[in-house]
Amino acid sequence: IFLSGTVIVLTAGNLVSLIAGRIVQGIGAASIDPLCLALISDLFPLQEWGKAMSIWNSGAPFSSMLGFVLGGFLVDYLGWQAIFGPVVLVGIVALLAVLWQVPAPTGLAPPGFLRNFDWNGTLLLAGAITMLVFFVSSQSITGRPNLTDWRLALAGMILFAAFYGWERRQRVPLVALRIFSYPNFSRAGLGAALRMFTLSGFVFFAPLYLTDIHGLNASVIGFLILLHAGGLFLTMRLGGALAHRWGDERLARFGPLVQAATLLFLAQLPATAPLGLVIVGIVVNGLGGGSYLVSLTRFGLGHTPPAESGIAAGVFSMLRFTGVIFGPVIAGVMLQFGLDQPWPALVAYQLVLRMIAGVAFLGALINWRLRE
């Protein structure tokens, strides 16, 4: 599905086709995480989860290390459309790797799965999230200032309430609400959402910050984002070993505090700050962001019955990617608000950095109550 969406984007001749392709890409990409988590929980015993998840989690930042640099080069010299060509090639390689290396499932979906799938719940949840995203960025949707069109917020809350009521009555719901009663699941899921809010908000925001405040071009920015991804890769790869040595509780608390501290550090830098200081903040932020994902995942899924590992992994991934949805949106809205004020541009960017730091600190507070 993701590969099909990439082909649509690569051949898009207008904005509608481009958006449609990106939607298809998103549908495909959204399915990868829960499937991988379910496979790990099924194929590996609990004591080996840390090692398995460390290897799996390190894949995304490792590919980002290459992707950001290659993407910056392609944008500078060939145009933005060129960045989707390598994605098609990588998608083909990934598809072949899955066909040849991933064990076949032990069972098939029951007859009538698609007919009995909770399509109504899916539409209600998608509608609720969409309305809340529209509320945050209402100026581009309804023309009212961002965060002021309460009709959208009310519609989102009504749809969420309808979704909750619908799910409680379903025999096979989209989101099995009983999963939230498992030890640590809700807190770990919320902590994972705040972590992804912090990461995605910063990764969206960093290229704008580096361009407008420090005057860097796309190639240099790609290299700096590579360094951030390198920090993520290093601590994600070592996440299992770090958790074994220091404990999941400590990592879950320490990681977001490192993220918050580095964001506040960057917010204090003047526009004339040496590039080396900016690099230090970016790299250490990546190290903090990657250090505790394994711990949060073990907290969230460690007490899940094997028969429900796939369902729990899907819900946990959904919670994580809620942060991916709202991080860039809220960061963008807040940045636009700051730029619309009679302030220097640096002040607007500092405002966003402090906001993201606050979210990271909130994540540390949530994670503080997790218990092994």
Please state the rounded mean pLDDT for residues 338-351: 95
From CA 130, how far away is CA 122, in angstroms rounded?
12
Cα 128 to its chain centre, rounded Å, is 19
From CA 75, how far away is CA 219, in angstroms rounded?
8
From CA 348, how far away is CA 340, in angstroms rounded?
9
> How many percent of the chain have pLDDT more than 70?
91
From CA 74, how far away is CA 181, in angstroms rounded?
48
| 144 pLDDT above the threshold of 80 | yes
| 164 pLDDT above the threshold of 90 | yes
- Enumerate the domain spans of the chain: 44-82+179-367, 117-171
CATH code of the domain occupying 44-82+179-367: 1.20.1250.20
Please state the rounded mean pLDDT for residues 68-77: 74
The pLDDT-based confidence of 46 (bands split at 50, 70, 90) is low
Q: Is the dihedral of CA 104, 106, 109, 111 positive or negative?
A: positive
The pLDDT-based confidence of 51 (bands split at 50, 70, 90) is low
Please state the rounded mean pLDDT for residues 66-70: 71
| 332 pLDDT above the threshold of 80 | yes
Please state the rounded mean pLDDT for residues 135-155: 91
Phi, psi angle pair for 75, to nearest 5°: -65, -40
Per-residue confidence (pLDDT) for residue 57, from 0 to 100: 66
From CA 195, how far away is CA 202, in angstroms rounded?
11
Q: What is the pTM of this model?
A: 0.80
Amino acid at 207: P
pLDDT tens sequence across 295-331? 998 898 887 777 777 778 878 888 988 999 899 999 9
The pLDDT-based confidence of 155 (bands split at 50, 70, 90) is very high
- Write the CA distances from 5 to 17, 20, 26, integer angstroms: 10, 8, 8
State which H helix or E strand residue 85 sits in: helix 84-101
Per-residue confidence (pLDDT) for residue 353, from 0 to 100: 98
Residues in the chain: 372
Per-residue confidence (pLDDT) for residue 222, from 0 to 100: 80
Angle at 285 between CA 282 and CA 289, to 5 degrees: 140
| 370 pLDDT above the threshold of 80 | yes
Please state the rounded mean pLDDT for residues 103-112: 63
- Write the CA distances from 31 to 107, 295, 308, integer angstroms: 18, 22, 17
For residues 145 and 117, which has the higher predicted lDDT (pLDDT)? 145
Please state the rounded mean pLDDT for residues 177-206: 92
Q: Which residues contact 135 (CB under 8 A, 6 or more apart)?
A: 147, 149, 150, 152, 153, 156
- Write the CA distances from 329 to 147, 171, 181, 192, 236, integer angstroms: 11, 35, 30, 18, 26
Mean pLDDT is lowest, of 14-18, 240-244, 327-331, for: 240-244
The pLDDT-based confidence of 22 (bands split at 50, 70, 90) is confident
Mean pLDDT is lowest, of 160-164, 220-224, 269-273, 285-289, for: 220-224
| 97 pLDDT above the threshold of 70 | yes
| 354 pLDDT above the threshold of 80 | yes
The pLDDT-based confidence of 105 (bands split at 50, 70, 90) is low
The pLDDT-based confidence of 91 (bands split at 50, 70, 90) is confident
Query: What average pLDDT is seen over the chain?
Result: 86
Amino acid at 293: L
Per-residue confidence (pLDDT) for residue 312, from 0 to 100: 83
Per-residue confidence (pLDDT) for residue 61, from 0 to 100: 66
Tokens of 178: 């009983």
The pLDDT-based confidence of 67 (bands split at 50, 70, 90) is confident
